[in-house]
Amino acid sequence: MQLSGACGILPRSPCADRHTGALSDELRYSRRHRALPRTRRLYRKLQQYTFPLYCLIEPSRSHLFPSVPSSRQTQRPHDPSRVAASQPRAKRIASRGWLLLLAAAFATLAAGTLTGCSHDSTPWQLTNVTGHLPDLQFSLTGDDGKPVTGDTFKGRVALVYFGYTHCPDVCPETMGRLMQVIDRLGPDAQQVRILFVTVDPARDSAQALHDYVGAFDAKHAYGLTGSDAEIEGLAKRYRVAYQMEKRDPKGNYEVTHSSAVYVFDKAGHARLLATDHDSPDAIAHDLRRIIDTRS
């Protein structure tokens, strides 16, 4: 199983650079003709949601799309009267287009001015993802064995991290860095919760997660687990990438996963994204801003 997204990128497969030289005629021919059915399917799918794409297709490739009218099929006899009659209308359309373009430009300028006046211009030290990711919504099992939803943490700033208890390096390092953030927040840490979502539910039971997060901070950290489908759905929702090796009955396998920390405000809105390059001071700085903001 593998999920990929903008917020987590797995290492590039070495197979991607396997063919770097000139391709043989046979390989080039086979690749070109093997891609034709897929190209047709892609065109038909895009045609459902966009304007007619045949206006962008080169005439030399029009035979790949049977439903696309060719130039011979659409060509009409030359009629000077039709051309003369269409010129005034074309001028009106062009003038109207320029007016709409100018109106859009002024509207954009006005919106930018209002935005600058009504919002704090201080830049975030973390990556601002406001409006780009969905709200905090899930239905999983907590490390105490009880059902937990995203609404459980409303009124708190939630730091969501996807990992697993058998992780040899990245997860302990990330949790350790988050503990430094908690220390820097001081009394404000009471309004923060760390949600450790396992990507290895086969081995990470509720008890295993309870012991793991308790070793770091039993007061502020909570472990979350669920079925494979539930974890996969939540990871896909927030564009988390992870790839599991073939499961060994003895439990000897690893899981490659992204290491971003998602920050949600007290209302459950996705606000920030912290990576390995963000220091505890930077994370604590932005968390204070979110804590002080009225959601």
**CATH class assigned to 128-292:** alpha beta
Supply the pLDDT for residue 9: 39
Give the pLDDT band of residue 224 (cuts 50, 70, 90). very high
- Cα–Cα separations (whole angstroms), residue 40 to 35, 36, 37, 44: 9, 6, 5, 6
Q: Is 171 annotated as a binding residue?
A: yes
Q: Is 167 annotated as a binding residue?
A: yes
Count Cβ atoms below 10 Å from residue 163 Cβ, excluding itself: 24
Q: Which residues pair with 128 in a beta bridge?
A: 272
Strands, E, within the chain: which ranges? 2-3, 127-128, 139-142, 147-149, 157-163, 192-198, 221-225, 242-244, 255-257, 261-264, 270-274
Is 110's pLDDT higher than 80?
Answer: no
Count Cβ atoms below 10 Å from residue 138 Cβ, excluding itself: 20
DSSP state letters, 104-120: HHHHHHHHHHHHHHHS-
Q: Residue for token digits 């859009």?
A: 104
DSSP class of 11: P
Supply the pLDDT for residue 190: 96
pLDDT digits (tens, 9 = 90+) for 42-80: 444 444 433 333 333 334 434 443 444 433 444 445 555
Mean local confidence (pLDDT), 138-147: 97
Starting from the edge strand earliest in sequence, which strands make up the sheet with 242-244, in order?
2-3, 242-244, 255-257
Q: Is 15 annotated as a binding residue?
A: no
246-254: list long-range contacts, CB under 8 Å, 24+ apart: 247/202, 251/166, 251/203, 254/166, 254/167, 254/168
Start-end of CATH 3.40.30.10 domains in the chain: 128-292
Q: Are 167 and 223 in contact (CB under 8 A)?
A: no
